[in-house]
Each structure stands twice: as C-alpha cells, then as structure tokens.
Amino acid sequence: MDNVKRITVRDLQKMKQTGQKIVTVTSYDAITARLVDEAGLHLILVGDSAGNTVLGYSNTIPVTMEESLMLTSAVRRGARRAMVIGDMPFGSYQVSPEEAVRNASRYLKECGADGVKLEGGKAVYPIIRRLVEASIPVMGHVGLLPQSVLKDGGYRAHGKSEEEAQAVVEDALAVQEAGAFAVVLECIPAALAERITKTLSIPTIGIGAGPHCDGQIQVVTDVLGLGSYVPRHASQFAHLADAASAGLREYFAKVSDGSFPGPENSI
C-alpha cells in the first residue's frame, strides 16, 4: 500500500495564502510523470497539448476522450505525490452539463485523476458549476484558449486592450464563482495576470502570463528541450532532443559496425 500523501486542492489553496509558488508541468506518459513527481512538482496536467506534442496532430482539436483517458491513466501510474489533472478535449464538455459530468467522471473513476481542466470563462460557467456540484474538482483556463484556435483564426496574446483585459478578468471571476479550485492564465500581459492574481482567492497558474501568478505551468516537451521550437514564454532547462539524437546515432553506428552487443551484453 502506497502511503505517500498526495497533494490536494487544499494544499494548493494554502500555497496561495502563504506565497509558496505552485510548480506544474504537463506530462503524457508514466516515465516522464515519475521524473516530474520525483523532482517535487506539485501538479501534473495531462494537457490536450498532447495533440501537438505526442500524438502528431497540428493542434489540440482532434484529441479524443479515449486518447486523453489513456494518457491520463499512464501519468497517474507514474505519479505518486503530484496531483494529476485530466484536460477535457474539445467537444467533451461543451454539449451539455450532463455530458460534461459523464465525461469528467471518467477521469476520476477510470484514470485515478484528481480533477479535470477545461477551457473558457463566462461561457462555461454552468458547466463548471455542474461539475463541482457533482464533486468533480475543476481547474479553469482563460486568456488564450487553444481549443478556440479555429474560431479565433490562430494563436495570439489576449487582454492587451483595456476592453479585452476586462473580459479576461470577468472570465477568471466567473471560473472562480462557478467553484473551480484554480485557473490557468494563458498568454496575457504580466500586469493583467498580477491584477487577476490579486483579485482572485483561488490560485492562478500562468503560462506566458508573467511572474506574478501563484504558480507556473509549462509544456514538458518545451522545458526538457524535446520540441521542435521553443515558444517565447518557455525556456529549455534540458536538451533531451540533442541527447536522444546523439544516443540513437551512436546505437545505429555500433550495431552497424558489429561492436554492439559485446560480450558484456550477451547471455
């Protein structure tokens, strides 16, 4: 029996109150989740960014419930202490609050997740409310919404004009009012993120939203140097693609020239 104490929504709330930064990243598999967990990060989001990062789609729209559930189960098996949050894919929560509850429950029941995330502010207020009434912890997500890329005609920072900034504040307040335990602020000006962080009683988790949020989230392939490019809001803390390429080339060379496997690798 595993008696590691898992991080809970109450721990995140306390961290906001005491000013301890909440450190989070996405992950999509058990090996990476174990490394993230062992490094002490507090929360792992099984982001629908899996669409771009590990599933080979050009955006997050095609990700299905079944794909997301499979990845979330794998991450849960790798993580012991970190909270694991399943990211509800496009189309899995917008149809009706009932369908959202049916789909969100699967993350808790089938994957062992600690909650779900979904995108949107005022527009998804009734959905978040219904999920929370059904005892499903929800993380909100406002600002840039990758699932709206087709409607918005691309990815761009949000909240730069005063009118847009006010809309983002109202979205964040709606998410809190609906009962979410935290909210992701994506690609908004640092000053706006600071204003929202000071206004809300729930933790804000920023990505491309400056240093004043209660926590930060990054896409794991960006911070580990596995992606094909580094977005401006990210930084590479390791260079795994280079190391992996070098290792694979060496393996290729050694099998080709007969020096691997050697006697020490043979039975």
Residues lying near ligand KIV in the complex (CB under 6 A) are found at 26, 45, 47-49, 87, 141, 184, 186, 207, 217, 219
Residues 7, 43: contact at Cβ < 8 Å? yes
Nearer to ligand KIV, 100 or 217 (CB): 217
Question: Which residue's structure tokens are 């960006």?
Answer: 222
* 186 counts as catalytic: yes
Query: Smallest gap, in angstroms, from Cβ of residue 267 to ligand KIV?
Result: 43
Nearer to ligand KIV, 141 or 195 (CB): 141
* Shortest distance (Å) from residue 235 CB to ligand KIV: 15
Q: Decide whether 84 or 217 has the Cβ nearer to ligand KIV.
A: 217
Which residue, 29 or 163, is less far from ligand KIV as judged by CB?
29
Strand partners, 205: 184, 215
CB of 12: closest distance to ligand KIV in angstroms? Answer: 15
Single out the residue of 76, 12, 81, 1 nearest to residue 40, CA to CA.
Answer: 81
End-to-end, the C-alpha distance of the chain in Å comes to 36
The three-state (H, E, C) secondary structure of 197-235, written as one string: HHHCCCCEEEECCCCCCCEEEECHHHHCCCCCCCCCCCC
Q: Are 65 and 95 in contact (CB under 8 A)?
A: no
The closest residue (CB) to ligand KIV is: 47
Distance in Å, CB of 194 to ligand KIV, minimum: 19
Q: How many CA atoms lie within 13 A of 209 on its CB side?
A: 31
Q: How far is the CB of 153 from ligand KIV (least distance, A)?
A: 19
* Alpha-carbon torsion (111, 114, 115, 116), positive or negative: negative
Residues 6+ apart with CB under 8 A from 14: 20
User: Catalytic one among 110, 133, 163, 186?
Assistant: 186
Residues 6+ apart with CB under 8 A from 60: 48, 49, 50, 51, 52, 89, 90, 146, 147, 149
Strand ranges, E, within the chain: 22-26, 43-46, 83-87, 115-117, 138-143, 182-186, 204-207, 215-218
In the complex, least distance from residue 49 CB atom to ligand KIV, rounded to whole angstroms: 3
The set of catalytic residues is 186
